[in-house]
Amino acid sequence: MKFYIGVTDNDWFRFLAHYEPDEANFWRPSSTMNFRAIRAGAPFLFKLKAPNNYIVGGGFFVKHLILPLSLAWDAFGIKNGAATYDRFRQLIMNLRQQDGLNPSIGCTILTEPFFFAREDWIPVPSNWSKNIVQGKTYSTEDVIGENLWNRVQERMDDKRQEGKEPELVYEDEVRYGKKYEIRSRIGQGAFRVLVTDAYQRRCAVTGEKTLPVLEAAHIKPYAESGPNSISNGLLLRSDMHILFDKGYMTLDNDLNVEISRRIKEEYQNGREYYAYHGKRLSNIPPDLHEQPSSGFLEWHQHEVYKG
C-alpha cells in the first residue's frame, strides 16, 4: 500500500485539530500542481513544518481538484483551516505571486481526518530529507514505510479505544495492513465539489454555468439515508434544485426530465419549466459510474415526485 506524507502549515493543523472536522481541504495556493501520488482511499499523513519534524495526524485521500477559491470556501468553510473567508483568502494571497478576484487553488480533499495529541506525535522517517517541501510517498512494502504505518495504526487503535476513531460507515471497503480497516465517508463538502466537477460546473438540466447559482442536489436526501456519492447527486440551478426537492420535477431512468402538472395547477405558472419536460438532461457526466443511479431515481420518482 502506498501512502503520502504532506507537509502542512502548523497553524492549519492546530486550527483543524481543535475542531476535529469530518473532512478537510489540504489546499495549495497554486493551481498548477496536480496530485497523483496515491489512489483514492489511501492514507494522507500530516507532517508539520520544520523544526517540528513529526507526523501529527492524517486523513484519507478522496480526490485532488483545481477549484475557485470561492467554491472551496462555500464547500468546506472552516474545514479549510481558517475561521473566515477573508482569513482564508489572506492566507492564500500571501503565498501567491499573482492576485485575482477569485483565483483557482489546488484542493486535496481528505475524509475522516485524525489528529494526534502532542505526546503521540511520530518522528519523521529516517530517510526524510530536509529539502522536501511538498511531501513524499511511502509504501508498506518497504521496511521504513511499514514501520511508520504500524506506528500510525497503533495511535489510531488508541483513538478507537477512546471512542474517537472515525465512524466506519461507507460503501467502499479498503484494508490497510493486517489490523486496520476503514470505510471512508464522503462529507458534504466533498460531495458538493465532486458533483460540481463531475458535471463540469454546468446545470444538468439547463446548462447554466454561473457557479454561485449551481447547487449539488441529492437525489435521495441524506436525511433519508441517501449517500454522499456522485451517483446520488445532480448539479442543478438553484430554482431547479428547489423544484426537484419539493417533487415538482424528477428524472426517468433514461435521464429525461419530467415536470409535474401541479406547478400549473397550484401556481398558474411554470411555462419556463414545462419547456424542459420530456427532454433528456443537457449535461451528463461522461463517466458512467458518476451518472445518476437508476435506484436513486426510482426512489425519487415514487417517494417525492408529484406526478
Q: Give the pLDDT confidence of 234-249 residue by residue, as tens digits.
A: 999 999 999 999 999 9
Partners of 236 in beta bridges: 215
Q: Percentage of residues in the chain with pLDDT exceeding 90?
A: 80
Higher pLDDT, 56 or 163: 56
* 3-state percent breakdown (helix, strand, coil) of the chain, nearest 5: 35, 25, 40
Q: Average pLDDT in the 26-45 region?
A: 88
Treating both helix axes as pointing N-terminal to C-terminal, what angle do 188-198 and 69-76 enclose, rounded to 10 degrees? 140
- pTM equals 0.89
Q: Average pLDDT in the 100-106 region?
A: 89
Q: How many residues appear in the chain?
A: 307
The per-residue pLDDT for range 135-182, each reduced to its tens digit, is: 999 999 999 999 999 999 999 887 666 655 444 333 333 434 433 334
Quick one: which of 240, 216, 237 has its CA closest to 228? 216
Quick one: which of 178, 53, 62, 173 has its CA closest to 113? 62
Run of H or E including 274: helix 271-274
The three-class DSSP label of residue 258 is strand
In this predicted structure, what is the pLDDT of residue 164? 52
In this predicted structure, what is the pLDDT of residue 230? 96
pLDDT band for position 34 (cuts 50, 70, 90)? confident
In this predicted structure, what is the pLDDT of residue 162? 62
| CA 292/CA 230 separation, integer angstroms | 8
- Whether 183 has a pLDDT exceeding 50, the answer reads no
Question: By mean pLDDT, which of 77-81, 129-133, 215-219, 237-241 is the weakest?
Answer: 129-133
In this predicted structure, what is the pLDDT of residue 160? 65
| CA 268/CA 262 separation, integer angstroms | 9
In this predicted structure, what is the pLDDT of residue 257? 98
Type of residue at 275: A
| CA 28/CA 109 separation, integer angstroms | 11
User: What are the backbone angles phi and psi of residue 157, rounded to the nearest 5°?
Assistant: -65, -40
Question: By mean pLDDT, which of 46-50, 97-101, 191-195 is the weakest?
Answer: 97-101
The per-residue pLDDT for range 9-28, each reduced to its tens digit, is: 999 999 999 999 999 999 99
Helices (H) and strands (E) in the chain, counts: 9, 13
The per-residue pLDDT for range 262-279, each reduced to its tens digit, is: 999 999 999 999 999 999
* C-alpha grid cell, residue 66: 483545481
> Cell match 495504526: residue?
153
Q: Average pLDDT in the 200-214 region?
A: 97
